[in-house]
Amino acid sequence: MKFIARYSGICALVALVLFLSMGVQARDLDQDEALRLRESGVIQPLDNVMAQALSRYPGARLLEVELEEEDDIYVYEVELLITGGVVRELEVDASDGRILKDEED
């Protein structure tokens, strides 16, 4: 009986982890899709987003940019190398340029 109770508890935990992980998946967009979204006005041009990110961290160097779709929201994920060798990861709403997240990576 202990085995059944322990087994069902483990199954419930696995089901909970799978359920919670479903909501945080992001989909990377390819260049063609990004171009189509920019031309149709759905997302901001990358230049606009980068100007805003670099104004927050003058002198920063761009390491990487990805365009992702997270929960039906398009997000630019920007990695910057700032003074002192610190890497900052910014998530920027691609539709209006709002910075959604800014944290040390």
Is residue 90 a part of any domain in this protein?
A: yes
Q: What is the pLDDT of residues 1-27, one digit of tens each?
A: 554 544 444 444 444 333 444 455 789
- Residue 33 belongs to what domain range? 26-104
Q: What is the pLDDT of residues 33-50, one digit of tens each?
A: 999 999 999 999 999 988
Q: How many domains in the chain?
A: 1
Is residue 5 a part of any domain in this protein?
A: no
Is residue 50 a part of any domain in this protein?
A: yes
User: According to the model, what pLDDT value does residue 37 have?
Assistant: 96
Q: What is the pLDDT of residues 51-104, one digit of tens each?
A: 888 889 999 999 999 999 998 899 999 999 999 999 999 999 999 999 999 999
Cα–Cα dist 84/78, whole Å: 18
CATH of the domain at 32: 3.10.450.40
Is residue 8 a part of any domain in this protein?
A: no
Cβ pair 50, 103 in contact under 8 A: no
